């Protein structure tokens, strides 16, 4: 017994006319007659009585219809569920990205662009690469943006390959130190600044009470990450307000030209960090099957912003 036979039986039982049922099912009358005949042969009873006025259910047919109607209801519900899943997948965009102000600003502008469209937008601020890879591999995220030091790229590509995903470079450049007017380095004319010269200033680090991804990167950059020197912050706005109003510093990845073209980095100056390990890279992770149209367009928007 096939599911389409149940649908055909239900339609014929409802209409009582084989020509009308065949038309509703978008099939020919002979094919419908043969299918119902095969169904009757398979279950071993006659389901319909053929008359000059059409067809009528037998006593077995009426009992059979009681079961098939409930099956049809379940099939209809399943179809609706599958349709909603396809719609949700097609009209949703789940972005996972580190706490970078320019990415948040790009996401904001992108959602405003499609404010009236039936698209469900989600932004999850996350730096941990392992969790990013898992979210992509399990289809929970559409796109992940990650920040790495270039000397760790080889390890990143190995892990990405293990998860069956793909990594693409978005932007590369030198790590910079963000300082405000209350920091004497703000007025420095030096071409760069060394980690040793930064040891006298508090270091702002994103994260909670435990060691974070940002702290690990700071250590790799040679910055002082001793407990007495770190200020842990979870808010982007608070981070830059503290930099603007105190001697606190933090390390940043966007290029100076980009900073100077954005209004939300007012009173912040960037100093290139000296050292062979001070090169950064921002890239995006995706499944090898490709990007959705929404995700691909967002990548284009980011590329345009930083170009």
**Residues 6 or more apart from 26 whose CB is under 8 A from it?**
none
For each of the chain's 307 residues, which pLDDT tens digit applies?
788 888 888 888 888 888 888 888 888 888 888 988 988 888 888 988 888 788 888 888 888 888 888 888 887 887 777 766 655 555 789 999 988 878 888 899 899 998 888 788 999 988 888 899 999 999 899 999 998 888 888 888 999 999 999 999 988 888 899 999 999 999 988 889 999 999 999 999 987 777 777 888 888 888 888 878 889 988 888 888 999 999 999 988 766 566 556 665 678 888 999 877 788 888 999 998 888 888 999 999 888 877 7
Confidence (pLDDT) at 215: 85
* Phi and psi torsions of 120, nearest 5°: -95, 115
Confidence (pLDDT) at 119: 85
Confidence (pLDDT) at 259: 59
Confidence (pLDDT) at 84: 66
**Residues 6 or more apart from 137 whose CB is under 8 A from it?**
163, 164, 165, 287
Confidence (pLDDT) at 78: 79
Note whether 98 and 145 are within 8 A (CB): yes
**Residues 6 or more apart from 133 whose CB is under 8 A from it?**
144, 159, 160, 163, 165, 285
Q: Maximum Cα–Cα distance for the chain, whole Å?
A: 101
Give the integer Cα–Cα distance in Å for 94 and 295: 9
Q: What is the dihedral of CA 7, 11, 13, 15, to 10 degrees?
A: 180
Full set of structural domains in the chain with CATH: 3-89 (1.10.10.10), 91-172+280-306 (3.40.190.10), 176-277 (3.40.190.290)
pLDDT per position as a tens digit, 173-231: 888 999 999 999 999 888 899 999 999 999 999 877 777 778 888 888 888 888 788 89
Give the residue among 221, 242, 223, 219 at the shortest CA–CA distance from 231.
Answer: 242
pLDDT per position as a tens digit, 111-128: 999 888 878 899 998 888
């Amino acid at each position: 017994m096939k599911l389409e036979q149940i649908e055909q039986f239900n339609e014929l039982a409802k209409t009582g006319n084989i020509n009308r049922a065949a038309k509703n099912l978008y099939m020919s009358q002979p094919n419908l007659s043969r299918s119902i005949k095969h169904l009757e042969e398979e279950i071993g009873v006659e389901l319909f009585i053929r008359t000059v006025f059409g067809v009528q259910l037998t006593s077995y047919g009426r009992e059979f219809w009681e079961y098939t109607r409930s099956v049809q209801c379940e099939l209809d519900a399943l179809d609706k569920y599958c349709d909603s899943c396809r719609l949700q997948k097609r009209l949703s965009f789940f972005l996972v990205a580190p706490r970078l102000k320019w990415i948040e600003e790009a996401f904001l502008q992108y959602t405003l662009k499609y404010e009236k469209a039936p698209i469900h937008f989600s932004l999850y601020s996350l730096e941990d690469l392992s969790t990013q890879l898992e979210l992509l591999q399990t289809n929970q995220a559409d796109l992940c943006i990650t920040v790495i030091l270039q000397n760790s790229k080889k390890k990143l590509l190995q892990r990405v390959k293990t998860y069956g995903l793909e990594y693409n470079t978005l932007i590369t450049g030198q790590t910079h130190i963000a300082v405000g007017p209350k920091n004497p380095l703000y007025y420095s004319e030096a071409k760069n600044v060394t980690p040793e010269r930064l040891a006298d200033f508090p270091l702002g680090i994103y994260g909670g009470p435990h060691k974070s991804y940002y702290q690990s990167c700071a250590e790799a950059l040679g910055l002082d990450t001793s407990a007495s020197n770190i200020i842990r912050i979870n808010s982007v706005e608070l981070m830059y307000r503290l930099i603007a109003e105190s001697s606190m510093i933090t390390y940043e990845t966007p290029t100076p030209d980009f900073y100077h073209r954005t209004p939300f980095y007012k009173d912040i100056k960037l100093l290139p960090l000296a050292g062979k390990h001070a090169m950064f890279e921002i890239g995006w992770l995706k499944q090898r099957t490709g990007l959705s149209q929404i995700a691909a367009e967002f990548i284009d928007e980011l590329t345009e912003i930083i170009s």
